[in-house]
Amino acid sequence: MARRGQYAKGAAKRAEILAVALDVVAELGTRKASNREIAARVGLTQPGLMHYFSTREELFLEVLRARDERDHERFHSPQRGFQSFLDVIAHNASVPGLVRLYVEYSAEATLEGHPARAFFEERFVWVRALMTEAVRHDQAVELMGPDVDIPYVVDLVIAAADGLQVQWLLDPSIDMADRLARLWQGVRETSWPAVAT
Amino acid sequence: MARRGQYAKGAAKRAEILAVALDVVAELGTRKASNREIAARVGLTQPGLMHYFSTREELFLEVLRARDERDHERFHSPQRGFQSFLDVIAHNASVPGLVRLYVEYSAEATLEGHPARAFFEERFVWVRALMTEAVRHDQAVELMGPDVDIPYVVDLVIAAADGLQVQWLLDPSIDMADRLARLWQGVRETSWPAVAT
């Protein structure tokens, strides 16, 4: 029982560190989110911090995972279709450190054998499933036509969202959510068979 | 005159190194495109190579610049409109090392003060101008409506192209050019005022 207590305590501390690291990265970006800063905010020494996350890569990857879970819990609702996704995008504009972390890690992770590659591959499967759900939602309420090419739409919208993040990091005046809302509207319009005139 | 001769010789060698580095990166990727490999292929020692490019960052940034120039010369033609752009994308599928270099550097470059940030900011201005030219081409031949929102279309197509590169690096079965051709077709279709029915 003592061991189980220890384990639960360790898991709770790990979750606390992740929550704090998430805020520090969102606020300061990965470069300035030092081990010293994160350790201080959770009342640990730097070696104490490294007991829970042995490398910064591991910590940041878990930050990305925790962020997805938090966003999903906060914003996802199947009844709201694509609007759930737009809410996440709009929220992203308030956490540039996390957007940059995602952009950088997803780029690096494309290397064969990179430790984060599996995470991003699985994440794409997950996001594709969510986006497919959003298309089906629109089809059910007849906002999108029955013959829309779902894999094409799904990949396109995810790609546009990813690419817009790079543009937005260089120029924060770009309204990512607005551009994606208009893309979605365009998909709706072209999803119906052409009317013979 | 001797100095000018020296200078011309230096510029020629630099151009030769860039052309070779471009091929080595395209073939092997940045990780495996070692200074040793590049130096050997241009008949230099490694310190000799560093005389022309003092850091790998500088060399790789110049590789990206040289690649844009080469692609532009080879594929760009105002009369062909968006097809020029699709040709570059189709060609990219044969040079994964360069695609990865672009994806990684564009992500890193979003950091305030990063040496490559100015390059990417200028590159976005340049690509936006090319994409605007492609929209105007389609308008001139009445494939696109007169009222299309050009800045929106331009940012969206560039974002989709950038985002698809990450997906393609993780899964090379994705046909980037096909997806972008369909996006462009969708833009054409939604660019005309709705017909009252």
Task: Give the mean model confidence (pLDDT) for residues B96-123.
Answer: 89
Residues 27-66 of A with CB under 8 A from B: 29, 31
pLDDT value, residue B56? 86
Is the distance from CB of B146 to CB of B139 less than 8 angstroms? Answer: yes
Residues of chain A in contact with residue B31, where contact means CB-CB under 8 angstroms, are 111
CA distances from A100 to A22, A95, A106 (A): 13, 9, 10
- DSSP state string for B17-36: HHHHHHHHHHHHHHHH--HH
B14-68, pLDDT tens digit by residue?
989 999 998 888 888 887 889 999 999 999 999 999 999 988 888 989 999 999 9
Average pLDDT, chain A: 91
Residues of chain A in contact with residue B190, where contact means CB-CB under 8 angstroms, are 186, 189-190
pLDDT at B158 over 90: yes
pLDDT at A197 over 80: no
Name the pLDDT band for A173 (thresholds 50, 70, 90). Answer: very high
Name the pLDDT band for A11 (thresholds 50, 70, 90). Answer: confident
pLDDT value, residue A111? 82
Size of interface A-B (CB pairs under 8 A): 115
A134, exposed or middle or buried, with CB in 10 Å at 0-12, 13-18, 19+?
buried
Is the distance from CB of A107 to CB of B104 less than 8 angstroms? Answer: yes
Contact A110 B166 (CB under 8 A): yes
A144-162, pLDDT tens digit by residue?
999 999 999 999 999 999 9
Name the pLDDT band for A195 (thresholds 50, 70, 90). Answer: low
ipTM score of complex? 0.88
Distance from CA of A50 to the nearest CA of B (A): 25
